[in-house]
Chain A
């Protein structure tokens, strides 16, 4: 069920995407796709329509779905707005994003959810809202989850921090299971991570920066697996970053627990060595880890232990990121880079994953976790036309502009990547054509 069901269909000429390879959960085939009145009107060979877009050599995929987007509105509009963030999302091939609740005020009640959804309706993509597990994300009292669930919220999280109190987390899981919603945890045990600004290890020791050990994440993963077993509730792990976390989640899933997990592009691309120049662009929570952790995240994505690639797109104003490393806020941009990084690091990075495997983790698997039924579905007649067209051969170099985001904390500047989004259709509206946002 979509929680932004008020979106109006933009009427325009019927469009045929001609000559591409359709990729979805059912496989790959060479077919044309006709979009009409916001829906997929026809799929088949040799189709025609009023407006023809040649997509020869391109992949036609269900639009990407981001489970982890910081749109910063309300509260931090100098860093990002729902409008600018949704434009970045569209350029990155996304047709739906899940806005994180660490806004100001916190998205922890119906009023703020309504504001986010209202602003989201003007966005270039389908903006869904998550809700906080606890009031003000303070980890003390449960937030009114039912009133938010009534507005369509399906994922609850205190992202930015984890729920520290064991008893409260148990109750939250039990309560959530009654509502049929999913709790998503930012796994970080504060007593081991407070005051730290990077991964604890060789590089933190050398740089004289306070580090947090992998165990700060793993202890909470371990606890939450135990609580998921106790309560039987559904549980989603946000941005796993350590080899130990991946192993525990894989084992728990093998044991039949209803657990899902995501990983962020930076955690399969960058290591803690990136912090060597004290550039806070590379500061993120959970922190960039070691090469062994990067390898484990890649393997977890390939093996299926991790279901989704989620950006953790976290814009911050330049002056914030220019503060001393230990004082700068954590987070980095991701929406416009995730797909290309996944093709480059995962498909070309020796994991054995295909482009279709990567799209599963960027589109239909996250859509399923978030219950976004209008997204990620098979490309068949009658479905909402939430699509992206990807040129898998395009090679490009990431620049420092920050793209459509209001911020420019891009940690990939100068990196050569493969795969570029050509067009994005959100409920049939051509929001990106030839790599240009249409509004």
Chain B
């Protein structure tokens, strides 16, 4: 998408792959990741949800901003693939003593790691780290910029319910301007063929939407009946002090998905939210608990998607892909039929683990389109 991304993709042709923004991935690569996620969902459904695919690999989570669910999700994903994990949180580190990001990254790298999962309140920090690092860098959310694994898990969740995103109408509602989730989801959803409408007051939209392949509406009520997915964003208190909306109450009166509004959605249409939710602000409590509100599925799929991403970046490339899932791993001996199958794949045989080089080389995945 951006010149920088294109340049980066070729720059790292000989180095590790990174996942910094959704624009790093083309449609084929996203679909490949979602298929691999099916496999990971199957792994997660086993009594012992663990495979040795990334044994000996080390992932460090480097979180400069609080996040419980994303950090836990990545660390769980890594452990289920038998990778070692290290965790670095700002409050417990020398960052509070003034250490620069670059020094921190070089210190961590000196311990021998394969992947850095980074979250930072400033846009672009993962991209900076990728310039300095020999490890694979995965963006777990940077400022208002990108949160690509969130977009992948959201795409996976939609796909698992609706079969495909092609031609689906998805509204992203709320504070688009400050939302990395929105930026990644717009790219993911439109790349996968969906039609995206942004619904927000003008003050909560990015200042220039010119090249974005989206429609814009300021009227949630007008958009609701045609939606396949209503994706709500968290409305933050501090937006009030910036005079972006007068009051939360007024915001809710226009943009909250109330029961009345939810009733006007088509049957089978999904309600999604990246969490954490403000019940009573952007979504009514009762709506959040409806059957077509799939927030907990999003979280569950998050682990599988992140397993797929880690496997893509670390599972092949530097070492020959080996034993995923290996013959000697106990879970592999479980008859498939006895496992609760949450996979959307019709044929469990297709679900068979990628053997040998069934998983793509990361360089292939990074080819500029």
B-binding residues in A (CB < 8 A): 200-202, 204-211, 213, 273, 276-279, 319, 322-327
Residue numbers in B under 8 Å from A210 (CB-CB)? 144
A209-B123, A211-B207 given. 20 additional CB < 8 A pairs? Answer: A200-B208, A201-B208, A202-B208, A202-B210, A205-B206, A206-B206, A206-B211, A207-B145, A208-B144, A209-B124, A209-B144, A209-B145, A278-B128, A322-B128, A324-B120, A324-B123, A325-B122, A326-B122, A326-B143, A327-B122
In the assembled complex, the CB of A292 is this many whole angstroms from the nearest CB of chain B, namely: 13
CA distance A211 to B207 in the complex (A): 9
In the assembled complex, the CB of A368 is this many whole angstroms from the nearest CB of chain B, namely: 40
Residue numbers in A under 8 Å from B7 (CB-CB)? 277
In the assembled complex, the CB of B163 is this many whole angstroms from the nearest CB of chain A, namely: 31
CA distance A324 to B142 in the complex (A): 10
In the assembled complex, the CB of A3 is this many whole angstroms from the nearest CB of chain B, namely: 39
A-B contact count (CB 8 A): 77
With A213-B207, A319-B100, A323-B101 already in contact, the answer to whether A207 and B123 are too (CB < 8 A) is yes
A-binding residues in B (CB < 8 A): 1-4, 7-8, 100-102, 120, 122-125, 127-128, 142-146, 180, 183, 206-212
CA distance A326 to B211 in the complex (A): 23
Residue numbers in A under 8 Å from B124 (CB-CB)? 207, 209, 278, 324-325
CA distance A394 to B142 in the complex (A): 44
CA distance A322 to B206 in the complex (A): 26
A324 near B125 with CB under 8 A, answer: yes
Residue numbers in A under 8 Å from B102 (CB-CB)? 319, 322
Task: Find the A residue at minimum CB distance from B211.
Answer: A202
CA distance A205 to B208 in the complex (A): 6
Residue numbers in A under 8 Å from B4 (CB-CB)? 276-278
CA distance A326 to B64 in the complex (A): 15
With A207-B145, A273-B3 already in contact, the answer to whether A278 and B206 are too (CB < 8 A) is no
Task: Find the B residue at minimum CB distance from A209.
Answer: B123
In the assembled complex, the CB of A265 is this many whole angstroms from the nearest CB of chain B, namely: 22
B183 near A208 with CB under 8 A, answer: yes
In the assembled complex, the CB of B198 is this many whole angstroms from the nearest CB of chain A, namely: 12
Residue numbers in B under 8 Å from A213 (CB-CB)? 207
Pick the contact of B3: A276, A324, A325 (CB < 8 A).
A276
B210 near A209 with CB under 8 A, answer: no
Task: Find the A residue at minimum CB distance from B5.
Answer: A276
Residue numbers in B under 8 Å from A201 (CB-CB)? 207-208
B207 near A325 with CB under 8 A, answer: no
Pick the contact of B209: A205, A276, A278 (CB < 8 A).
A205
Residue numbers in B under 8 Å from A202 (CB-CB)? 208, 210-211
Residue numbers in B under 8 Å from A208 (CB-CB)? 123, 142-146, 180, 183
CA distance A59 to B99 in the complex (A): 49
In the assembled complex, the CB of B222 is this many whole angstroms from the nearest CB of chain A, namely: 24
Residue numbers in A under 8 Å from B8 (CB-CB)? 277
Residue numbers in A under 8 Å from B212 (CB-CB)? 205
In the assembled complex, the CB of B167 is this many whole angstroms from the nearest CB of chain A, namely: 25
A278 near B127 with CB under 8 A, answer: yes
Residue numbers in A under 8 Å from B207 (CB-CB)? 200-201, 204-205, 211, 213
Residue numbers in B under 8 Å from A276 (CB-CB)? 2-4
CA distance A399 to B7 in the complex (A): 19
B144 near A324 with CB under 8 A, answer: no
Pick the contact of A324: B1, B128, B146, B206 (CB < 8 A).
B128
Task: Find the B residue at minimum CB distance from A318.
Answer: B102
Of B3, B122, B125, B127, the most chain A CB neighbours within 10 A belong to B122
Task: Find the B residue at minimum CB distance from A195.
Answer: B242
Residue numbers in B under 8 Å from A325 (CB-CB)? 122-124, 128
- 4 A-B pairs with the lowest CB-CB distances in the bound complex, closest first: A278-B124, A324-B122, A208-B145, A208-B144
CA distance A324 to B211 in the complex (A): 26
Residue numbers in B under 8 Å from A277 (CB-CB)? 4, 7-8, 127
Chosen A-B contacts, 27 in total, with CB atoms closer than 8 Å, are: A201-B207, A202-B208, A204-B206, A205-B209, A206-B183, A206-B211, A207-B123, A207-B124, A208-B146, A208-B180, A209-B124, A209-B145, A273-B3, A276-B3, A277-B4, A277-B8, A278-B123, A278-B127, A278-B128, A322-B101, A322-B102, A324-B101, A324-B124, A324-B125, A325-B124, A326-B143, A327-B122
Residue numbers in A under 8 Å from B100 (CB-CB)? 319, 322-323
